[in-house]
Amino acid sequence: MSARPLIRFLGTGWSHGVPMIACDCEVCTQRHPKNIRRRPSLLLQDARHTLVIDTGPDFRDQALTFGIHSLDAVFMTHEHADHVMGFDDVRRFTWARETPMPVYADPHTLARLKIVYPYVSAFRIPGKAVPKVGFLPWEAPVSLGDFRLTPFPVPHADLPCHGVLIETPGKRIGYVPDCSDLPAEALEILGDLDIMILNALRHKPHPAHLTLESSLALLHRIGAPASYLTHMGCDFDYPALNPTLPAGISMAYDGLEIAG
Ligand SMILES: [Zn+2]
Ligand SMILES: [Zn+2]
Ligand SMILES: [Zn+2]
């Protein structure tokens, strides 16, 4: 484990993942390793803590593939299935805990999680194999180890959705896996960044997401020295597109590690 804080992309795909079921496009059929995109999730790790932002349907595969052996907290950006539907598998990380593992989300998303996972409170019953977690409201910065995570609202499909400002002792990192735009308040929070990670869904406009073109325009405005695209569909072929992106902007891929 690195002494420096580390950020790792566990998933960089849109809600379908890439390859997408029943898609015959070149990206889906050729399966270049950097075009394999699990549902969106980000791992944050320092010398003593492991955190994840979102636990989508691929969370089990991500934990096995990328060798996650412990987990200290979960942060949820919003209620959509591609961000929360692997949550049950956090229970493996809570077996040995004496206290519930914190799971942070905005109050609306917490209420939805309690509906989808009504059994989590059953951990108090001996023998119940359920996640031993505590749902906590995430409306202000939360600090854990080397990381300070501040949620901020972003427009996305008419439901509460949050981007995250990740601060470490050396860096300011923005992470917005889902949004249709970034309002002035969000751009203000995303000032003076070292790294920006922003969604780019596809070429064709979508009411709830950024296109590649709109994402690149926002990244240009944010002006971080290093930027990464995530939450991508199968329009984007890594070997073809990545070399053509503007200086400082790269496509992320599953497993990519960046220094935090
Ligand atoms: Zn999503
Ligand atoms: Zn495809
Ligand atoms: Zn979403």
Contacts of residue 21, defined as CB under 8 A and 6 or more positions apart, other chains included, come to none
H/E run at residue 225: none
Ligand 1 center–CA 49 separation, angstroms: 25
Amino acid at the residue 3: A
CB 146 within 8 A of CB 134: no
H/E run at residue 67: none
Residue among 101, 83, 84 at smallest CA distance from 92: 101
CA of 30, nearest ligand number: 2
Ligand 3 center–CA 250 separation, angstroms: 22
Ligand 1 center–CA 132 separation, angstroms: 25
| pLDDT confidence tier of residue 115, bands split at 50, 70 and 90 | very high
- The predicted structure's pLDDT at residue 135: 96
Ligand 3 center–CA 137 separation, angstroms: 19
Ligand 2 center–CA 29 separation, angstroms: 7
Ligand 1 center–CA 39 separation, angstroms: 8
CA of 14, nearest ligand number: 1
Rounded to whole angstroms, the Cα distance separating 255 from 241 reads: 19
List, for residues 147-192, the tens digit of each pLDDT value: 999 999 999 999 999 999 999 999 999 999 999 999 999 999 999 9
Place of tokens 């206290």: 99
List, for residues 31-53, the tens digit of each pLDDT value: 999 999 999 999 999 999 999 99
Ligand 3 center–CA 4 separation, angstroms: 31
Amino acid at the residue 154: V
Amino acid at the residue 101: M
CA of 39, nearest ligand number: 1
Residue among 83, 81, 103 at smallest CA distance from 91: 103
Instruction: State the fold for domain 6-259.
Output: Metallo-beta-lactamase; Chain A (3.60.15)
CA of 15, nearest ligand number: 1
Measure the CA angle with vertex 81, ends 121 and 234; round to 5°: 150
- The predicted structure's pLDDT at residue 128: 81
